[in-house]
Structure 1
Amino acid sequence: MRAFRIVPVATAAVVLAGCAAGTAPHSAPPGADVDLSGQTVEVAAVWADDEQASFERVLDEFERQTGAEVTYVSGGDELPTVLSTRLVGGAPPDVAIVSQPALVHSMAADGALVPLDAATDALITEQFGPVWKEWGTVEGTLYGFVFKATNKSTVWYDTEQLGEDFVPPADWDAFVDLLRTRSDLGGTPLSVGGADGWTLTDWFENVYLQTAGAQMYDKLAEHEIPWTDDSVRVAMETLGRAFQPQFMPGGRASALQTEFADSVVDVFGDDPKAEIVFEADFVAGVIAESTSATVGRDALFFPFPSIGDTSSVITGGDTVVALTDRPATAALVRFLASSQAAAIWVERGGFISPNREVALEGYPDETTRRIAEDLVNAQNPRFDMSDLMPTSLGATRGDGFWRAMQDYLADPARLPQILSDLEAEATAAYARR
């Protein structure tokens, strides 16, 4: 692998220095079987640090097989702003990888995106489940696909605290009973990172999908039904059964001051305060970075408890889109859509691909394999609702959906007013969309 030199985002962030020798294998991935010598491609995404290093390995292989030179721009949380500025200036990157489908839709509506070509469309149809294609489609035109996905329907627990005979709860009633039993024994079983409002929206989305169903979930995400709908109240009250103050270390006030990473450490750290924490597969990364616990031994997970006869998976992810109509752009997008490209990052860890042709054996451990299998085989997956909403409503710290969930955690008795206020914000946000 080549050495990479880090440059500020404003000057294109990361420049690949040099080009490694080598020839393409006989079974080159789609998009990497063309000669692009002398051509350049610029990619902008959110990833930095270890994620950036892993993605650069993927880009390395594309360069090696095509002769193209790829420049990577790490925009982090400011990527939407970076893209907006570049578009206004008439110099967008060739490829962008964004986390919010709502941003994909708005960019497509503004004419900023180039539809994916027929070959890439066919590849995605062949290797991805239909729902993943739907999330990249705007008004019947395919503009993107999810390259890196996450399973947001996993509940993690400390094996030492719960004991070797622990059996994960079969459904939501059993989950609430588990929390009550552990609380009655003098513990505070559930760690909640309420300072980060997005963790609370993830809780709601899992419960709402199961209590209201997929069609209602889609309608609420598009604001085709109001937040004052009775289905929302039912889901919130169902969630409230788990959000009892006696179940959480320090009660409601402490949960609202606990950030996501700290909620994980509160379960798996050297001085645990709780036994169970809910969040996505990236909990494993926090455990590895911030505790001495070992995922797969000290830290295990079970799927989000089903409610009634329904089970579900909430997912999020990073969507690849094209902003220029160049052969090198199309080739890179098609390469990233392939199972061969995904497998490079899969083997390095910290990555789940929704591509169903990626071999489960390629994942580095049994825990990740199970999480990936649950996601790829999910019968009723839905994308993170907050990422489907206008950013002002679904992804703004201290406002909108995030704040409403924090308000509910703080005082469930205020639910009617909380939902009324959220509905007013949603009406204004979708009107501006």
Structure 2
Amino acid sequence: MLKKLLVVLFIFSFLLSACAPAATPIATVDEPVVEAPATEVAVVEPTAAPVVEPTEAPVVPAGPNAELTDAKAGKYAGTTVTIMGPYTAEDDIKFRAAMEPFIASTGINVEHEGTADFNTLLTVRVEAGNAPDLAVVAQPATTKLYAEQGKLVDLSSVLDMDQVKEDYIQDWIDLGTFDGKLYGIYYRASTKSLVWYMPAEFEAAGYAVPTSWEEMVALQDQIIADGKAPWCISIEHSGVTGWVATDWLEEIVLRKYGPEVYDQWVNHEIPFNAPEIVDSLEEMGKIWKNDAIAYGGKDYILNTWVGATQNPMFETTGTGEDQKLDSKCFMHRQAGWYLSFIPETQRAASNFFYFPAMDEKIGKPILGAGDQIVQFNDRPEVRALVQYLSSPEGGKIWAMTSGFISANKNVPLDWYGNALDRSQAEILQNATIFRFDASDMMPAEVGSGSFWTGMIEWTNGKDSQTVLDEIEASWPK
């Protein structure tokens, strides 16, 4: 197992060299080999088999994770695997770092292309017959679509399924399974039901962390009375703008009407514009459409990049020794991975609390999401990388830095490099009421289409009923 000091030195050296364009190969470094997962078995020599297209019968491995075992023996050294996903900026750097132990121990080159326009570009490449070997997909509906088109490899032929069942709760496995076949394995998970804040600022202003929706409303009133805005909110995110708003609506539906109505909504067993959903959007509007509550009003919400949403929280006054925080807004509802976007100088002073429940009878539900690894091309070196990324070691380096929670429940909590990530991981590992992001479960035409654009229009002034009627009309027949 890598010593923490070596990891720190490795990450530092990697950051100095990670300025290459997104699609260039990741340079191999002389890094000690990460120990193989305890579940690996003795090497069994694989029988020769031709590379096949995903639509044909998959190659049967010679044993659990046989390709990864062979890769570590140098059998595929010099080959290249391409992977495309939404990880950019700091996430791109950390994802590349997480794959370095695989590269160092196998000699396989990995080319990662991270882009904010991932959904659009992936569609273009798949339709052109130029799909990457692997992709990091956030929406289960997108995975299902490619599976139905025969574009994906059945991962049950790639992974040791007994080990998968040991490493993942059944909900995660089910989310990547369609028609009885596993097409997506979850890599990164996120806890969305969190509210980021600055404890020192709360204490200085005399604010208490709310534990119920009623207490949160009272806190909003108190902050407004003090001349500040309670919430930092924004949604601009290039080609995927709108998901922040859909997350908020999902949180409120789950809290106000419970998991049964939430599931019916996701599965279109009730219409998208059902009264419960209209009411939930109106509830959301009490925050989003009140300029006294949402910092900067709709102009700030619509035009500010999601990575800068919280910046007014960190504004300062004075200079030198007299400089101190002068927050313009105090709360930001966002997933746990958002720590990566908080200014480094403020990370240690930041914390989160649970987004309050609305109904004691429903309890305290957790809304979350995650990124699946899907496989388009079936070659041994590609299989080896899938096997590595699905193992606890596949996320170890990223977990030890920050901004990463593994969907793999057997990632030790002490691997997480800070208390915030460790707390989120523990929440996920011990979750009792957990629901996946609704928009990610809906047909792609809605979940990453009309739902996103509809919420942009709603934020810009269109009424709730009209927006939800239009989204309902867009649902595939």
TM score, norm. by length of structure 2: 0.78
Seen in structure 2, the aligned counterparts of structure 1 residues 327 and 117 have a Cα distance that, compared at 3 Å, is farther
Paired position in structure 2 for 1:177: 218
Q: Does 2:361 align with 1:306?
A: no
CA distances 1:39-90 after superposition (whole Å, capped 9, x unpaired): 524131222443233223332222333x341322314133344444444454
Deviation at 1:346, TM superposition (A): 0.6
Paired position in structure 2 for 1:248: 294
Q: Aligned partners of 1:110, 1:284: CA distance in 2, in Å? A: 37
Seen in structure 2, the aligned counterparts of structure 1 residues 218 and 363 have a Cα distance that, compared at 3 Å, is same
Q: For 1:246, what is the secondary structure of its paired residue?
A: coil
Q: For 1:225, what is the secondary structure of its paired residue?
A: coil
Deviation at 1:246, TM superposition (A): 2.5
Q: Does 2:254 align with 1:209?
A: yes
Q: For 2:468, what is the secondary structure of its paired residue?
A: helix
Residue type of the alignment partner of 1:302: F
Deviation at 1:25, TM superposition (A): 4.1
Deviation at 1:407, TM superposition (A): 4.2
Deviation at 1:206, TM superposition (A): 0.9
The 8 Å contact of residues 6 and 15 in structure 1, kept in 2 or not, is answered as: no
Seen in structure 2, the aligned counterparts of structure 1 residues 163 and 27 have a Cα distance that, compared at 3 Å, is closer
Deviation at 1:251, TM superposition (A): 4.0
- Matching of residues 204-243 of structure 1 within 5 Å: 204-243=249-288
The 8 Å contact of residues 340 and 402 in structure 2, kept in 1 or not, is answered as: no
1:113 equivalent among 152, 174, 193: 152
2:228 equivalent among 177, 187, 210: 187
Q: Aligned partners of 2:122, 2:218: CA distance in 1, in Å? A: 47
Deviation at 1:108, TM superposition (A): 0.4
Q: For 2:382, what is the secondary structure of its paired residue?
A: helix
Which ranges in structure 2 are unaligned for 5 or more consecutive residues? 1-9, 41-64, 317-325
Q: Aligned partners of 1:410, 1:132: CA distance in 2, in Å? A: 35
Deviation at 1:368, TM superposition (A): 1.7
The 8 Å contact of residues 62 and 335 in structure 1, kept in 2 or not, is answered as: yes
Seen in structure 2, the aligned counterparts of structure 1 residues 58 and 213 have a Cα distance that, compared at 3 Å, is same
| Equivalent residue pairs, number | 416
Q: Aligned partners of 1:323, 1:210: CA distance in 2, in Å? A: 38
Deviation at 1:127, TM superposition (A): 0.9
Paired position in structure 2 for 1:265: 311
The 8 Å contact of residues 392 and 411 in structure 2, kept in 1 or not, is answered as: yes
Q: For 2:117, what is the secondary structure of its paired residue?
A: helix
**Structure 1 residues 319-328 or 44-53, which shifts more?**
44-53
CA distances 1:185-241 after superposition (whole Å, capped 9, x unpaired): 333222221555322211111111222322332332233321221220232233234
Seen in structure 2, the aligned counterparts of structure 1 residues 169 and 319 have a Cα distance that, compared at 3 Å, is same
Q: Does 2:205 align with 1:137?
A: no
Paired position in structure 1 for 2:339: 284
Q: Aligned partners of 1:301, 1:148: CA distance in 2, in Å? A: 19
Paired position in structure 2 for 1:200: 245
Deviation at 1:24, TM superposition (A): 6.8
The 8 Å contact of residues 37 and 392 in structure 2, kept in 1 or not, is answered as: no
Q: For 2:342, what is the secondary structure of its paired residue?
A: helix
Which ranges in structure 1 are unaligned for 5 or more consecutive residues? none
Q: Does 2:378 align with 1:325?
A: yes
Seen in structure 2, the aligned counterparts of structure 1 residues 36 and 326 have a Cα distance that, compared at 3 Å, is farther
Paired position in structure 2 for 1:14: 24
**Structure 1 residues 316-325 or 125-134, which shifts more?**
316-325
Residue type of the alignment partner of 1:125: K
Residue type of the alignment partner of 1:207: I
The 8 Å contact of residues 146 and 318 in structure 1, kept in 2 or not, is answered as: yes
The 8 Å contact of residues 267 and 274 in structure 1, kept in 2 or not, is answered as: yes
The 8 Å contact of residues 193 and 251 in structure 2, kept in 1 or not, is answered as: yes
Q: CA RMSD in A?
A: 2.9
The 8 Å contact of residues 81 and 381 in structure 2, kept in 1 or not, is answered as: no
Q: Aligned partners of 1:348, 1:257: CA distance in 2, in Å? A: 30
Q: Does 2:143 align with 1:104?
A: yes
Seen in structure 2, the aligned counterparts of structure 1 residues 23 and 251 have a Cα distance that, compared at 3 Å, is closer
Seen in structure 2, the aligned counterparts of structure 1 residues 176 and 269 have a Cα distance that, compared at 3 Å, is same
Q: Aligned partners of 2:235, 2:133: CA distance in 1, in Å? A: 38
Seen in structure 2, the aligned counterparts of structure 1 residues 54 and 269 have a Cα distance that, compared at 3 Å, is same
Q: Aligned partners of 2:160, 2:439: CA distance in 1, in Å? A: 28
Q: Aligned partners of 1:142, 1:263: CA distance in 2, in Å? A: 36
The 8 Å contact of residues 194 and 352 in structure 2, kept in 1 or not, is answered as: yes
Q: For 2:97, what is the secondary structure of its paired residue?
A: helix
Seen in structure 2, the aligned counterparts of structure 1 residues 214 and 81 have a Cα distance that, compared at 3 Å, is same
The 8 Å contact of residues 140 and 176 in structure 2, kept in 1 or not, is answered as: yes
**Structure 1 residues 300-309 or 380-389, which shifts more?**
380-389
Q: Does 2:373 align with 1:373?
A: no
Paired position in structure 2 for 1:274: 329
